[in-house]
Each structure stands twice: as C-alpha cells, then as structure tokens.
Homo-oligomer: A and B are copies of this chain.
Amino acid sequence: MANKPESSNGLTYADAGVDLETYDAFIGRLGSLVRRTHGPRVIQNPGGFAGMFRLDYNQKLFQRNYKDPVLVACNDGVGTKLKIASAMRRFDTIGIDLVAMSVNDLIVQGAEPLFFLDYIAVPKVVPGELEAMVRGIAGACAASGCALIGGETAEMPDVYAPGEFDMAGFAVGVVELKKATDPLRVQPGDVVLGLASDGVHSNGYSLVRKIVSAKKLKLDRVYPELDESQTLGEVLLTPTRLYADPIVRLQRAYRVKKVVSGMAHITGGGLAQNIERVLNGKVDVRIDTKAWDVPRVFEFLAERGKVAHDEMMRVFNMGIGYVLIVRPTFADAVQRRLEKLGETVRVLGEVRKGTGKVMIG
C-alpha cells in the first residue's frame, strides 16, 4: 500500500495534485503543537478517526461536578480578515482570530470551553504557512483552556485560487444546566459592563477592505494618525481578544451566587444587535457612548471611508468586544476582578424596564 503506484502512463492521485505521503508526514509534524493544548481529559488516540475527550478526569470527580451537563457548541470562520492576512503574507495571527470567534461565543452561554477543532482549506499546503496557522490556533486554544483535539486540512487547488484560503473553527464547552445564562435573568437595575476590544477583531472586514481599496490606502504603510509604529495591515491583523480565561475565572469565583445576568460577544451587528440577543422582552438597555474611548482604528476607518456613525456602530465593535450584564451590588467587585485579570472594563450603562431594545446615545 505504501508502494508508489506503478502505472507509467495512467493517472495517479499525485498527478491530480494530491500527494498523500508528503501531506501525511507534514500533518504528523503538527502533532507537537497540538499536544501542548492537551490536558488530562484528552484521550490520546493516534491514528484514530476522531478526537476523544473525557468530561472529567475520573468517574468520581465527574459525578461530583456534573448533575445535568449541557454541551455548548458553536462554529465560525474569520470572514474576509483572511484576505488581509493573505495580502500581508502573515499567517501567525489569523488562527487566534479563529479560536476567539467561536470560544468567545461559547462562554456567553456560561460554558467552560473544553475542546476545539479546525478546518483549513488551501489551494496547496505550504508547510510554513500552515504551521503558522496551526501555531496560532494551538496558542489561542491553550490560552482559552481548550484542547485542540482534531482538525482537517483540505488541499483543493481547484476551489481556492493561489493566495486564497479559508478556515472554520468549532468549539465545544460544557455548563451545568442551572448555571447556563438565560435572558430571563436580566432585570431592571442591572449594570452593563464592557470589556475593551483589541481593535476591529474579526467582523466588518468586507467594509474595511472596501475602504482600503476605494481610498487607495496601503496595507504596508504607516499612517501616523492611526499608529506611529505599525503599518495599516499590522493594525488590521491585530488578533481578536480572547475573553475565555477571565470570564471562566470570574464565573468560578462566583460559583454559588448568581452575579452575571447575561453576556454578549460583540461581533457583526455591533453593540446594539448583540446585546439585544440576550435581553428578554421586559427590559431595555441604555448605553452611553461617552463611557469608553473609541480606538483610533475606528476613527481612521470612519474618516477615510466617510462612514456614517450609525453604520460604524452597526458593523464594528467600536472598542468594546465583550459585554457583561451584572447585578448592581456586584458591579464594582466584578469590574475590579476583571481588571486584575488584565481586562479594561467600563460601565457602559444600565438595564431599565422596556421591550427588549438597546438604546445607544
């Protein structure tokens, strides 16, 4: 089976652009990057058809920790931020975005991340590029307490033009049923806290790229009003912030008390639309736009693209990447705790009686 096919003028799989042997060897080399994300719950399954993950280290611990476990799963890509990575020939950050997009969604439900799988599709495996992508993914998984237990790399020269590629990520977590977040919990008087983003994150890049091309901006140029030391492309590739570690720690600190009423990951649709997703029909959220500073990258994009403020708010996170709605008596303590964990936290506004709307002004 490992013999080279003998056909002299017949067609082989290698003729068709797929060399199984080189490919397998390379995938094997990625193993060490991946294994670094594995804790004691990962069952090593070399050559296996699937990744295997115990819900707990051992049977006793499992039965103490889980009465009614709910698996939480989500998937996402990174949109056309990949086009910026491709244009810059920089593949070490986009894997962080991939993990962040799914894992930041997962923790919104109150879940602890367990594991992650990636799908990477390329026209042709370029080992250095693929390794950079997987390094980013594995690093972000480790930083999020998430094991990278599987993945698929598809080489499809006829689907992806040279320089094009795509990625999809899948994350699974677990939450005890009664601890899962629930929109019904959000009450008038609750305080809305915002965690700073690290820039554009992974949404709105179709508009970003439209501005770049329409206004003939250069990705490899430094625009001092944007950033004194980084090029535009570097600023735009800043990875999506990973909120899993601080949020999971916060929830562990309040194991018994119900402190957090709701959370939202701010993606496409911006602050208003994403906060609305976690409200019930009896409350509104009022947000004061003066509560935080909008990062320069958004001002730069708005000014260069002459993009209306409402549109900016609808497409981008505008500097707030993750939102917590917390009980008023705990707001100060939660803010301090998250700040100690390295987050920049702002009080954005409050919850009032209403009809499930978000008002920003």
Contacts and interface: CB of A to CB of B under 8 A. Distances in A.
A17 interface: yes
A264 interface: yes
Interface stretch (A28-36, A114-122, A328-336): A114-122
A63 interface: yes
Interface residues of A, number: 105
Nearest to A74: B50
Contact residues of A: prevailing secondary structure: mixed
A317 to B, nearest CB: 14
Interface stretch (A126-134, A157-165, A340-348): A157-165
B83 A159 contact: yes
Interface stretch (A40-48, A89-97, A137-145, A226-234): A40-48
10 contacts: A12-B311, A13-B204, A15-B210, A50-B73, A54-B69, A55-B71, A59-B68, A62-B69, A73-B115, A117-B170
A4 to B, nearest CB: 9
Contacts of A260: none
Contacts of A45: 109
A282 B145 CA distance: 37
A136 B206 CA distance: 29
A11 B210 contact: yes
B207 A3 contact: no
A13 B207 contact: yes
A1 interface: yes
Interface in A299-350: 305-308, 310-311, 313-315
Contacts of A238: none
A278 B59 CA distance: 26
A149 B109 contact: no
A73 B48 contact: no
Contacts of A161: 161
Contacts of A62: 67-69
Given A13-B311, A166-B121, A52 B71 contact: yes
Contacts of A272: 1
A353 to B, nearest CB: 19
Contacts of A241: none
A75 interface: yes
A227 B71 CA distance: 45
B177 A54 contact: yes
B109 A154 contact: no
Contact of A207 (B11, B55, B150): B11
Interface string A167-181: 010101100010010
A166 B77 CA distance: 12
Contact of A172 (B73, B79, B165): B73
Contacts of A88: none
Given A59-B68, A68-B62, A75 B12 contact: no
A6 B206 CA distance: 19
Given A5-B308, A273-B1, A306-B11, A49 B20 contact: no
A75 B1 contact: no
A286 to B, nearest CB: 13
Given A50-B72, A71-B172, A75-B117, 13 more contacts: A1-B358, A13-B314, A16-B209, A47-B183, A48-B108, A49-B277, A50-B106, A53-B73, A55-B69, A75-B170, A77-B152, A119-B119, A154-B166
